[in-house]
Structure 1
Amino acid sequence: MAAKIPNRTIEEALDMQTGEIIEANSFFRLPESDLVRYRRIQQEAINGLGEPRFVCAFCKQILKISGTNHKRGAITHFAHLRDSEYCPIKTGSNYSREEIELRKYLGVKESERHIDLKQQIFNALKGSETKLGTEKIQQESRISSVSHWRRPDVYAEVSGIKIAFEIQLSNTFLSVVVARDAFYRANGIYIIWIFNFSKNTQYIDLESLMCKDIYYANKRNAFILDQEAQRMSIQNQELILLCIWWETTSIVDQNDSPDKLFRKYIRLSDLCYDPTNFKLFYKDCSVPLVNDEDKFMGNLPTESTPIQQFDRFEAILAGPVDRPHLVSVLEEQKRERIQNIMNQLANGTATLSPLEIDGKWGYGFEGEIVIEPIYTKVDFFKENGFAKVRLGEKYGFVNFKGEEIVPCIYDQTFEIYNGNLIARMGVIWSCRFIEQDLEEEIPYKWIKRLQQDLPLLLVSTSQKIFTESSSQSSTIEKSRLYGLMDFEGRYLLAPQFAYINRFINGVSEVEREGITMVANYNDGKVKIAYK
């Protein structure tokens, strides 16, 4: 009988060392010895003894490698930590496939491997400043148009020609590739996608559909920064890439059998420029898919792809138009798009995603900025329609309209629950009633969330007392007695207990005056019973 495939919540993880998107089905087929080794690495990172190898491809939080209750000793799946922050994968979400792919793409860009390759390209271009007239070399610089922006891995101008260098380490985000191609083309910037195949070609290979999507659109040229290209770039102090291209002796058939593969290490000065598609190539090996292109292209609807939309925009800008009027029209179109997004958010068919621009965070949807990036840090939107944000060292909450329903004035906050918020300003805790815009001070001096799966707060009236003499300073902490409060500010247990353990299946162990008892949580209430 074939082994049953586990029903996994987390289907993909991000390898922070290689930048690879790991598919769980393939990963958990590795030899048990490898899985045990990776499991230990993850646990050491969880314990603060090192950096994690794998994180969630969506929220970037550390993952643990776990077994199953159904098969003792089997290692079967990735899991978030019990006390991890919110992640849409854990609760389900309305994120589109394109948004999910974009988040994975941004995650890959944060990997050690990606950062190292980006630095190597930057260094190689800096080395050729005099030789090739390369200038304005920048990493992650923002490029803006009227209503869109992008941040290429490396940007440079070679003899006055603008070039964006994008490193490709994943094989799952064609929609992101198409959108970037279209943006650069509309803004007169050439783009060169650079692959990186290491000695073990497990990351991506030229037979993958994603690679074909890129090199077929680039006159069947693929550029690779492999180990030899890296060595040659350092030695020659200029960027050298391995170019692979396919020459075909006849029209491509379904089996693609007439192709012959060629390879050569090339310099930027060896490349040709395609001013129509704004791509760089070494050999033009374009092959039409059919003799009569109208069989396919004639029936396409107007502006059916991002590239067609950008082509129209580019044509407008290139023509003799009234620039102020054009900007006015484009701004009106943007307002209409934002209103359409707001309607989708209001009826629950869309969800905003965090976005970062120049070190500041806001929210967007399908490439459109909805809430301006002004915050130091932002969280995902919860099902109640609110998101926690940080401005400097102060916390607040926003709704999907960008309104600060709770201003960023608090030093610590817990999530909004049934319209109420527990927050601390200085040493004063209070319960803020969102809809009434009222605050009620809470008499406790110390509050902490007990566990992530229940809306319970651990509270105490004790506080640290600082004493100072001429010879020394010391801190004395009174014996704490703990109680429980819910997220609406209601007291469930008075602070009379020496300890309160986490609830498991609604049951916790507590101690009062040396006597161990059982606490039962049900329907928002806690009842105490003697053992």
Structure 2
Amino acid sequence: MHRVSRLFYFKHVLEDGRCPQISSGELSRDEIDARKYNGAKESDRHIQMKEFVVASLAADSLFSNIRVEKRWTDTLSGDWRQPDVRATYNGIEIVFEIQLSTTYLDVIVERRRFYQREGGLLFWIFADFNDDCRRLLQDDVFYNNNQNAFIVSGESAAASVHANEFLLSCAWTEPASSNGISPLRRAMVSFHELTLNIVKQQAFFFDYDAAKNTLIHANLTAMSKLRDRFEAAWISTVDEPDRIGTKWRDFRREFRAVGFFLPIYQSQLHAILINALYSAKHGKVIGWKYTRFIEVAHRIATGHKPYLHIFRIALGVYKRGEQLISEDKSGRWNIRVKAYKAAIKQEDPEYAGDETHYDLLRFLLPELFENLP
């Protein structure tokens, strides 16, 4: 056993041409993988798969110049690839590669880059595709192809000949509302129904990315409406907290559905913090009998110092500086600001921020956290 570039391999005792793997000399990782890949290609199943693809293409008049195992050479660099099947479709050069192995992903990536540079479209064909294939290939063929995979078989080839168009089975996933994905969906589709993107090297039937963006937008809209309803309910019942109690269970369920959690009982949520931040947002007193907003600021700065950090952020985000200055007739707030800034600079532990409710606050008031880690 020899070691070259940190890669172990076995060397033949005699290089007599019987084995396609030539082990003499120093080969790079790419060369070794490419030789392994090519050596694995010509199985009986691989030959049969090429026949299925060619029969399907030949049945469809929109495909022309069908070639099998013909080199594609880069005229500038001299690099070349030899796709399983190549054909012209609506002026686009499409190369069909049959994927029977899940091992040689670096070779797969390089082939994709080659055809991307050359202006062709690499189209992967599977003999079968299941959830195991999806997991093994999620970072490459399946994931990069907008989570679509295409399967050609004797059945699909016969259907193509009967329909006079290239039909193939498509397997895809759909985004789920809980940040997950659906089980594999399947359908027999026409090649003409696919979206082809040479720049991204994608060919897909179901647009996973578009569906995910739509779902994200819908979730954001639903979250925004829930956030607004909670805020309105909180403010309208702040003087009579028992009134929101009848809705608390419903709010807990709705919050949980979007990944945030309210405590079992409303009393477990520190109302002083929520009231102070809503007061800063609206520039008025919420939750106290005070008459001016500056009194809320004094209350937090003196009686609830662990909340001062997030409260100061709220003052900045909601631009309450001018309001505090105008309400500070006695100058006491200015003196207090200088005092707490000095204490914070000295790392006074009384002013250590309390982040207990930050997860919930990120939902209720996300604007406060836009510049926080």
More helix by share: 2
The higher relative CO (CA closer than 8 Å, separation ≥ 6) is in 2
TM-score bracket for this pair, using the shorter chain length: 0.3 to 0.5
Q: TM-score, normalised by structure 2?
A: 0.48
Larger radius of gyration: 2
